[in-house]
Chains A and B, each alone.
Chain A
Amino acid sequence: DTGVSQDPRHKITKRGQNVTFRCDPISEHNRLYWYRQTLGQGPEFLTYFQNEAQLEKSRLLSDRFSAERPKGSFSTLEIQRTEQGDSAMYLCASSQASRRETQYFGPGTRLLVL
């Protein structure tokens, strides 16, 4: 198992375009999280899934953001009509639900909106 992977690692797009990011969690993990991290700040929670169910969404997740986790495996995060304020690192993490749950992070996708 090689850990959490994310694709692409970098994305440059023009304002108004749609972008989609993918996250592949550690295979036996049933929980998957998305966070957003702007430069010099700590990550902020966006949403999380347990299996295929999206159980919680942050107020940060505007209507332009949508996330899916079909079949409880990989997840996608789509941003529609991107804005310059969406420029950030988007981090994915996965975990196995348990009392001593630990989230393992992927390398992130850095998004730049021009």
Chain B
Amino acid sequence: AQTVTQSQPEMSVQEAETVTLSCTYDTSESDYYLFWYKQPPSRQMILVIRQEAYKQQNATENRFSVNFQKAAKSFSLKISDSQLGDAAMYFCAYRSKETSGSRLTFGEGTQLTVNP
């Protein structure tokens, strides 16, 4: 079974600064997807960014980028020019491409605080 670990329960960053959230995962599969989801205080989960394991290039979406290290099974999220609206719980998630079904396996989450 796949597992996802986020070792930072809480992080804080100053507005306009850069912060990196860590995520590691364990799998025996070679092809899969990784995601970062954001859950603001209103609780609706929003997709931030997606990475396909077979793609070596790191995904980017505006101020959000990832550092995907497949051999190390590491998938960190970098938020540049942090804004107050970035404050939320961030979840790293894994989805298999090889097994049947498409469930997401989530990490425990990292609570991000953005200080003005």
- Please list the residues of chain A having a beta carbon within 8 angstroms of any beta carbon in chain B: 31, 33, 35, 40-45, 48, 55-56, 58, 89, 91, 93, 95, 97, 100-108
| Among A31, A33, A43, A55, contact of B106 (Cβ-Cβ < 8 Å) | A43
A97 to B106, CA, bound (A): 20
- Please list the residues of chain B having a beta carbon within 8 angstroms of any beta carbon in chain A: 4, 37, 42-47, 50, 91, 93, 95, 100-109
A111 to B101, CA, bound (A): 27
B102 engages A48 (CB within 8 Å): yes
CB-CB < 8 A to A89: which residues of B? 43
CB-CB < 8 A to B108: which residues of A? 40-42
B103 engages A56 (CB within 8 Å): yes
B109 engages A42 (CB within 8 Å): yes
A69 to B106, CA, bound (A): 24
CB-CB < 8 A to A31: which residues of B? 102
A95 engages B43 (CB within 8 Å): no
29 A-B residue pairings within 8 Å (CB atoms) = A33-B103, A35-B104, A40-B108, A41-B108, A42-B4, A42-B91, A42-B108, A42-B109, A43-B45, A43-B91, A43-B104, A44-B106, A45-B103, A45-B104, A45-B105, A48-B102, A48-B103, A56-B101, A56-B103, A93-B45, A93-B104, A95-B102, A102-B47, A102-B50, A103-B104, A105-B46, A107-B43, A107-B44, A108-B43
